[in-house]
Amino acid sequence: MMKEKSKAVISISGLRHNYTEGDGVKEVLHGIDLDFYGGEIAIIMGPSGSGKSTLLKLIGAQLTIQSGDIVIDGDHLSGANQSRLREIRRKIGFIFQSHHLLDSITVLQNVQLPLAFDKSQNSKSSRELAYEALQTVGIASHAEKKPAHLSGGQKQRVAIARALIRKPAIVLADEPTASLDEKTGREVVELIKKMSKELGVTVVLVTHDNRILDIADRIIRINDGNLLV
């Protein structure tokens, strides 16, 4: 469809990251320069330990930037204060390897959770919005169940509904198929693709599963903290 590049929604420049281990410091990202564009599905592919999750956490403002910068929709993460970071995080939905659902509350309540801290008064109740999100991912009939009663694929659908509930511009997915069998994994990535294309969401998905690469508009490879070009 649309092939010309739109404006960068995420712009990463000179990004480095260290972890302190014992008495040593280990650099795990060695200067990443990378842009993501509106509505695209970009897959970052690389072996375990190559820095994928670290990169995703930095983009999602879940880790503090040590060196370099990431610009999200015009906002600089480097040097941003806590309230700014909170605002930026609100533009981003997360889908994790394991679904990260709370087992003590219902599926519907899990999807409502990201709205719990929203002060903006919605015309629709968060319950209605969550129910609609569950309909969109095809599991509204399980709304009142506890997550423990769902299959792996159904849980990941709930996680997708939860990631999309605030209509984020960006969804970050960290190995969303890792705990699923091939067929279920395929259904989940097809759903992520459908959501991205219908809602115009920019998706950055990291994985080492090469069976799902075909859903990507663009594939980026990372190895040992460096992008391969």
The residues binding ligand ADP (CB under 6 A) are 19, 21, 28, 46, 48-54
- Name which of 137 and 205 has its Cβ closer to ligand ADP: 205
For the chain, give the number of residues.
Answer: 229
The site for Mg ion, by CB under 5 A, has a size of 2
C-beta of 56: minimal distance to ligand ADP in Å?
8
Distance set, CA 192 to CA 33, 42, 198 (Å): 25, 12, 10
Binding to Mg ion by residue 54, rule CB under 5 A? Answer: no
HSE-CB of 186 using CA atoms within 13 angstroms: 5
Cβ atoms of 51 and 28 closer than 8 Å: yes
Cβ atoms of 103 and 148 closer than 8 Å: yes
The tokens for 184 are 């279920």
- Name which of 28 and 71 has its Cβ closer to ligand ADP: 28
**Which among Mg ion, ligand ADP, none contacts residue 177 (Cβ within 5 to 8 A by kind)?**
none
Rg of the chain, C-alpha, whole Å = 18
CA pair distance 156, 82, nearest whole angstrom: 30
C-beta of 117: minimal distance to ligand ADP in Å?
26
CA angle 25, 60, 148 (to 5 degrees): 105
> Measuring CA to CA, which residue among 72, 52, 139 is closest to residue 101?
139
**Which among Mg ion, ligand ADP, none contacts residue 200 (Cβ within 5 to 8 A by kind)?**
none
Q: What 3 state SS string does 52-69 have?
A: HHHHHHHHCCCCCCCEEE
C-beta of 174: minimal distance to ligand ADP in Å?
7
Binding to Mg ion by residue 177, rule CB under 5 A? Answer: no
- Name which of 50 and 109 has its Cβ closer to Mg ion: 50
Return the residue matching tokens 């990378």. 34
Taking CB under 5 A as the binding criterion, the range among 26-34, 49-57, 69-77, 148-156 that sits at the site for Mg ion is: 49-57
Binding to Mg ion by residue 50, rule CB under 5 A? Answer: no
C-beta of 52: minimal distance to Mg ion in Å?
5
- Name which of 88 and 222 has its Cβ closer to ligand ADP: 222
**Which among Mg ion, ligand ADP, none contacts residue 19 (Cβ within 5 to 8 A by kind)?**
ligand ADP
Binding to Mg ion by residue 53, rule CB under 5 A? Answer: yes
